[in-house]
Amino acid sequence: MLNFAGQLINLFAAMLLLISFAMLSQRRVLSLINLFALQGLVLAVSTTVVAYSSNQHHLYYSAGLTLLLKVLVLPWILHRLIRKLNVKWDVETMFNIPTTMLVGIVLVVFAFNLAAPISQMAGTITRGTLGIAMACVLLSFLMMITRSKAVPQVIGFLAMENGLFFAATSTSYGMPMVVELGIALDVLIGMFILGIFFFQIRETFDSLDLKHMEKLKED
């Protein structure tokens, strides 16, 4: 049973990583949001599995919170946003995708290498997945760097939070409930503020492309 759960968790972890790569290479904003929602779903399911297998009841709440916030609320807000901003079918020009993927692979190797000593110390069932969690964080960060539009950057930011959440689950069965609630609230509020900024940015620069913000620099 335990072994089966462990295999299951590893499977979900692998899916998370795969979704991270998919987000890294996805050009369409709409698909990006869907991928983000999917990532949230996988995260919620994997957290439930961890909760079930380790008998940590508070992780059920975490999973529920994740489901509610990252699968339903945030994607819904993002969908509304891109509809209102009329960027639903936007296609982004990015850096060369294969190169980005290669860099991503290097990051995954780096993350695994980094996580090896830590996972040996952790006594949890999920310890093998720490490397994946860190890789997810780094890949999301990389995604923020390679995108030039505002909305994908925000999605990258949110995906990074997913990776952190996963890392916490895999090393120490999640953070204390208070911290988790706080982070959830932060993410929600951050989303609102960024949504307002989107409109402001578009009003000022007639575009959501962040390269226009270079004009703000003082010479």
Partner 1 sequence: MTIASTLLPIDVALGAVVCWLLLGLAGLLLQNTMAITRYIFPAGALAALLLAAAALSNLGGDSNVAVLPLGLPDLPFHLRLDALSAFFLLLLGAASVGISLYSAGYFRDMEGSALGLLCFEYHIFLASMALVFMADDAYLFMVAWETMALSSYFLVTTDHHVAQTRRAGFLYLLIAHIGAIAILLSFGVMQGGQGDYTFASMRDAHLNAFWASATFLLALFGFGAKAGILPLHVWLPEAHPAAPSPISAMMSGIMLKTAIYGILRVSFDLLDTPQWWWGALALTLGLLTALYGVLFAAVQTDMKRLLAYSSIENIGIILTGIGLAIVFHSFQKEALAALALTAALYHSFNHAFMKGLLFLGTGSVLHATGERNLGKLGGLIHRMPKLALLVLVGTLALAGLPPLNGFVSEWLLLQAFLLSPGLPHSYLNMLIPIAAAALALAAALAGYVMVKFYGVIFLGQPRGSDVVGQKAFDDVHDVGIWERIGLTWLALGCILLGVFPVFFILHIDFVSQLLVGHTLGVSAAQTGWLWLTPIQPERASYSPLILFVIIIVGVLFTLYGVKKFYHGRLRRGPAWDCGYPEQTARMQDTAEGFGQPIRQIFQLFFGITREVPGPFDKKPHYHGETSDRLWEWCYLPIARLTDKISALTGKLQHGRIHAYLLYSFVTLLALLAFVR
- 209 φ/ψ angles, rounded to the nearest 5 degrees: -75, 125
- 218 φ/ψ angles, rounded to the nearest 5 degrees: -80, 140
Q: How many residues does the chain have?
A: 219
Residue 93 engages partner 1 in binding (rule: CB under 8 A):
no
Please give the size of the binding site for partner 1, defined by CB under 8 A. 20
Report the alpha-carbon angle 84-89-90, nearest 5: 95
Given the rule CB under 8 A, which of 9-17, 84-92, 106-114, 124-132 is the region that contacts partner 1? 106-114
- 27 φ/ψ angles, rounded to the nearest 5 degrees: -90, -30
Residue 145 engages partner 1 in binding (rule: CB under 8 A):
yes
Residue 105 engages partner 1 in binding (rule: CB under 8 A):
no
CB of 113 to partner 1, least distance (A): 8
Among 52, 60, 61, 110, binds partner 1 (CB under 8 A): 110
Among 61, 148, 181, 183, binds partner 1 (CB under 8 A): 148
Residue 189 engages partner 1 in binding (rule: CB under 8 A):
no
Given the rule CB under 8 A, which of 7-15, 31-39, 80-88, 143-151 is the region that contacts partner 1? 143-151
Among 24, 50, 69, 142, binds partner 1 (CB under 8 A): 142
Of the pair 52, 209, the CB lying nearest partner 1 is at 209
Residue 103 engages partner 1 in binding (rule: CB under 8 A):
no
Quickly list DSSP for 144-187.
HHH--BHHHHHHHHHHHHHHHHHHHHHHHSS--HHHHHHHHHHH
- 28 φ/ψ angles, rounded to the nearest 5 degrees: -85, 140
* Alpha-helical runs (H) found in 26-149: 29-54, 58-66, 74-85, 97-121, 130-146
For partner 1, the binding residues (CB under 8 A) are: 110, 113-114, 117, 138, 141-142, 144-148, 153, 210-211, 213-217
